[in-house]
Structure 1
Amino acid sequence: MRIRAGFKLAYECPQPTPMLLVLDIHPSRRVDLLTEQIIGFDRPVEARGYIDVFGNLCTRIEAPAGLTTISTNFEIHDTGKPEIVAAGAVQHDIKELPDHVLRFLLGSRYCDTDRLGDFAWANFGNIAPGWARAQAICDFVHEHITFNYQAADTMRTAYGALTDRAGVCRDFAHLAITLCRCMNIPARYCTGYLGDIGIPPMPYPMDFNAWFQAYLSGHWFTFDARHNQPRIGRILMATGCDANDVAISTSFGLSRLTRFEVITEEIHAEPEKASARRTFRHDGLQREGSSQS
């Protein structure tokens, strides 16, 4: 299967502004690229790439004063198969976990494990450890939170998602991750592309998506509490402890996001059969030290 994906983002800055970008696809998916995937700018911009502590490919720039458009467009190969369901995957004792996995048991900016530990053990303590427990957590979060773009709140933590019962994909991921960590299942936040491939078109604007991975049987397995079903064509961009680690941009100064368009579509043999592109424009303000995701 061939998938076309990409984005166009525009930021307006009143003065030259340093920014961190997490907009490349994950290094683990670059082997599947059918065309180059390069972050481009519509004006001269000083930029350099680096790999962060989570293994994500990131970019440092200084956005010039005025309006700067950042874009990429690429094609990538996908198996076309739904994601793996490993019902027999086991949960490791903490003493068996690799050292680099331990951080994904701890609380983080949006995953307030200290507030949800008692709730997690009361509701999931009697479920068999391993895949069954992680899936039970996904089932609960999927039923508990109502997806609502109007309820998006970049300050909401997992505890807030539990109490508010409404949010966007990052809220589903944060709550599920936190409950998994409370139950001693390492879990990490993921962001990337997820188009309406293999399912009826969703009545929402195309956007980047959030999901999570749980560490079971020595592997990271994909779970998605929002959709709660194996999907086709997911393209990973970055992983971290929570959304704070993988914000698409972090601005060290004043910047305004004035354009936000994301595409993800299957490429069919006949171009006219390709799924329609959907775009979403969003205006948002970033102040010094804040991040946009």
Structure 2
Amino acid sequence: MNRLRYSVSLSYEVMDPMADFLLNIEAARTSRQVVVAEQLTFPPSIQTTHYTDPVLCNRLLRMRAPKGRLAIRYEGVVDIDHRLDDSDQLSEVPVTELPFDVWHYLAPSRYCESDRLMEFAMREFGGMQRGYARVYAIREWVRNHVRFLSRSTNECTSAVDTIVERTGVCRDFAHLMIGICRALSIPARMSSSLDYGADPTMGAPDFHAVVEVYLSHRWYLLDPSGISIPTGLLRIGTGRDAADIPFAGRCCINRI
């Protein structure tokens, strides 16, 4: 089990008389992730509404802020107990046996155009043995064929753009792996995390995008960019792609 302490500091300048915010920065509470302590700080005059998705466990914070500077800070201490299984025993689940709430992670989405990646996916991975070995091969292909380059892409960059340009940041690695998996009828989705263990020369600690793949009727986390320590992957938000769980800002991470 790993215990991580992290903090997120967000600062905005509200230009309009009122502005609405919807944030997903609090650590998710799951069977494998326990929030030991946390503190959320924001101006006392601002009213907030909290909501937790009953399926994905995403914790959303909604607020309306007046014109001027808005500072928000979240601090959390989280125990993470990742499930470790024998990868040789992990198999792909036939589409006819997938739970209905997993089906939509097979479909193309805003940043993961799996329909446009199908020909490539079948050519590169269609003949491989199904299961974790094929998913691992997809992860390794993305890691070895895409170069990590900060600020090389923007909010419009999709998986198809990444496979053409071969450069990107963590979310681009994640989108491409997700798109290829879906093109092969392997459910895949994105999770927002933290880049715990990343090379300090890459800059200050930051939010991080990783992939969840559905194998043997469970979701498993993988990091196609390879910049973080797998056992330190902390779950914040989960969605189809970055359109569901966008992130921006800086954070601080420490292992306790």
- Superposition pairs for residues 1-293 of structure 1, below 5 Å? 1-15=2-16, 16-28=18-30, 32-35=34-37, 37-52=38-53, 54-79=56-81, 86-196=87-197, 201=200, 203-227=202-226, 231-248=230-247, 260-267=249-256
* CA contact 1:83–1:231 (8 Å) conserved in 2: no
TM-fit CA distance, 1:146: 0.6
TM-fit CA distance, 1:154: 1.0
Query: CA 1:18–1:30 in structure 2 vs 1: closer, same or farther (change >3 Å)?
Result: farther
Look up the equivalent residue of 1:17 and give its one-letter code: A
TM-fit CA distance, 1:233: 1.6
Kindly provide the CA deviation profile for residues 55-91 of structure 1, in whole angstroms up to 9, marking residues without a partner as x: 4111111122111011111222235x79656232001
How far apart, CA to CA, are the structure 1 residues paired with 2:32 and 2:24?
15
How far apart, CA to CA, are the structure 1 residues paired with 2:26 and 2:215?
27
Look up the equivalent residue of 2:92 and give its one-letter code: Q
* CA contact 1:138–1:228 (8 Å) conserved in 2: no
How far apart, CA to CA, are the structure 2 residues paired with 1:2 and 1:51?
22
How far apart, CA to CA, are the structure 2 residues paired with 1:30 and 1:184?
27
How far apart, CA to CA, are the structure 1 residues paired with 2:44 and 2:59?
22
How far apart, CA to CA, are the structure 2 residues paired with 1:45 and 1:87?
51
TM-fit CA distance, 1:124: 0.4
1:232 counterpart SS class: helix
Unaligned runs of 5+ in 2: none
Query: CA 1:216–1:179 in structure 2 vs 1: closer, same or farther (change >3 Å)?
Result: same
* CA contact 1:43–1:68 (8 Å) conserved in 2: no
TM-fit CA distance, 1:200: 6.1
How far apart, CA to CA, are the structure 2 residues paired with 1:234 and 1:32?
13
Look up the equivalent residue of 1:265 and give its one-letter code: N
Unaligned runs of 5+ in 1: 250-259, 268-293
How far apart, CA to CA, are the structure 2 residues paired with 1:234 and 1:83?
13
* CA contact 1:194–1:235 (8 Å) conserved in 2: no
How far apart, CA to CA, are the structure 1 residues paired with 2:223 and 2:30?
19
**Aligned match of 1:271:** none
Look up the equivalent residue of 1:4 and give its one-letter code: R
Query: CA 1:228–1:19 in structure 2 vs 1: closer, same or farther (change >3 Å)?
Result: closer
How far apart, CA to CA, are the structure 2 residues paired with 1:100 and 1:137?
24
* CA contact 2:58–2:238 (8 Å) conserved in 1: yes
Query: CA 1:203–1:229 in structure 2 vs 1: closer, same or farther (change >3 Å)?
Result: closer
How far apart, CA to CA, are the structure 1 residues paired with 2:140 and 2:90?
17
Query: CA 1:124–1:228 in structure 2 vs 1: closer, same or farther (change >3 Å)?
Result: farther
How far apart, CA to CA, are the structure 1 residues paired with 2:247 and 2:161?
22
TM-fit CA distance, 1:30: 8.7
* CA contact 2:190–2:240 (8 Å) conserved in 1: yes
2:48 counterpart SS class: strand
The two structures, once aligned, show a CA RMSD in angstroms of 2.2
How far apart, CA to CA, are the structure 2 residues paired with 1:30 and 1:13?
37
* CA contact 1:153–1:167 (8 Å) conserved in 2: no
Kindly provide the CA deviation profile for residues 148-203 of structure 1, in whole angstroms up to 9, marking residues without a partner as x: 1130311001000101111100000000000000001000110022311xx76453
Look up the equivalent residue of 1:218 and give its one-letter code: H
Kindly tell me the number of residue pairs found equivalent between the two proteins.
253
Query: CA 1:7–1:83 in structure 2 vs 1: closer, same or farther (change >3 Å)?
Result: farther
* CA contact 1:9–1:69 (8 Å) conserved in 2: yes
**Aligned match of 1:289:** none
